[in-house]
Structure 1
Amino acid sequence: MHSSEFSKIWHKLLKDYKLHMDSKLAPTLTDAQLTVLELLQERDVMKPSDLAPHLATSPAAVTMLLDRMEKHELISRDRDDADRRIVWISITETGKKETERGLKIRSDFFAEALDPISSHNQQLLLYLMGKMVVTSTPEAATS
């Protein structure tokens, strides 16, 4: 088993990714905020409760994250017309611009990380990582 070697490399890559994203996204954006903005770009509007599974965090932490995002005009919150208990979150123009910037920063990180690897081996790596994700999800075990 090469799990311990894999673990060391994986943690190093994650650490490098986090440092890169934290430094390049600052001061207006965080990696978690970028995730929210990406989701909002895909879906237009979402409820705060829909975000928690994508962020692996508590509802209270999601609320705090959204508070900061609203303060920086990345998102807007609107009450549902029919049911005032429901809050809809949507991306603003500022949020769209920051999403574009953040995705470029992320893309640049991975382009640099993958640069030493041949195109063929990049495809192989993507394939193998895809196998890891599929086999590690609960849905895959039951299907």
Structure 2
Amino acid sequence: MITQEFAKLWWKLSKDLRTHMETELAPTLTEGQLKVLELLMYSGKEKMKPSDFIDHLDTTPAAITTLLDRMEKSELIARERDEKDRRIVWVLVTGKGRHECERGIAIREQFLQSYLSRISSHNQQLLVYLLGKVANA
């Protein structure tokens, strides 16, 4: 059945990527931390509230707080209170965070390129197009 074959291949690709990223990002970064840094650097906003990450990380507010605590301790992000409303906390990427984000993206790009290079440029574009259709993006 096509759905079983798709599930099998999807699982393998996902597992390979997760394993590679976990190994290569360690010990200074995790995939979740990379996602936060990417959101901060490429969302078009220079700073975000912790609650802004909820929709992107598919986790609980408590888990996001723990993630941000670890990232702040590792100096990947900084937190600052809003000047006008002290209840609001802003999350900003640090210089170290920028460097680690760029490193993480390069690791992911290299891994994905090694997989995509197995097929022609035309088929790469077709694959991305079809995955976009499947993902409804």
TM-score computed with the length of structure 2 as normaliser:
0.96
Which residue in the other structure is 1:45 paired with? 47
Distance 1:119 1:92 in 2: 36
What percentage of aligned pairs have identical amino acids? 58
Q: Give 1:44 deviation, angstroms.
A: 1.2
- Which ranges of structure 2 fall in alignment gaps of 5 or more residues? none
Which residue in the other structure is 1:130 paired with? 132
Distance 1:85 1:100 in 2: 31
Q: Which 4+ residue blocks in structure 1 deviate beyond 6 angstroms?
A: none
Alignment of 1:16-27 (within 5 A): 16-27=16-27
After superposition, what is the alpha-carbon deviation per residue over 1:84-141, rounded to whole angstroms, capped at 9, x for unaligned? 1110000000000001100000001100111111111111001001111227xxxxxx
Over aligned residue pairs, what C-alpha RMSD do you find?
0.9
Distance 1:130 1:32 in 2: 23
TM-score computed with the length of structure 1 as normaliser:
0.92
Distance 1:126 1:36 in 2: 24
- Which ranges of structure 1 fall in alignment gaps of 5 or more residues? 136-143
Kindly provide the amino acid, as one letter, of the partner of residue 65 in structure 2.
Answer: T
Alignment of 1:1-143 (within 5 A): 1-42=1-42, 43-134=45-136
Number of matched pairs: 135
Q: Give 1:62 deviation, angstroms.
A: 0.3
Kindly provide the amino acid, as one letter, of the partner of residue 65 in structure 1.
Answer: L
Kindly provide the amino acid, as one letter, of the partner of residue 17 in structure 2.
Answer: Y
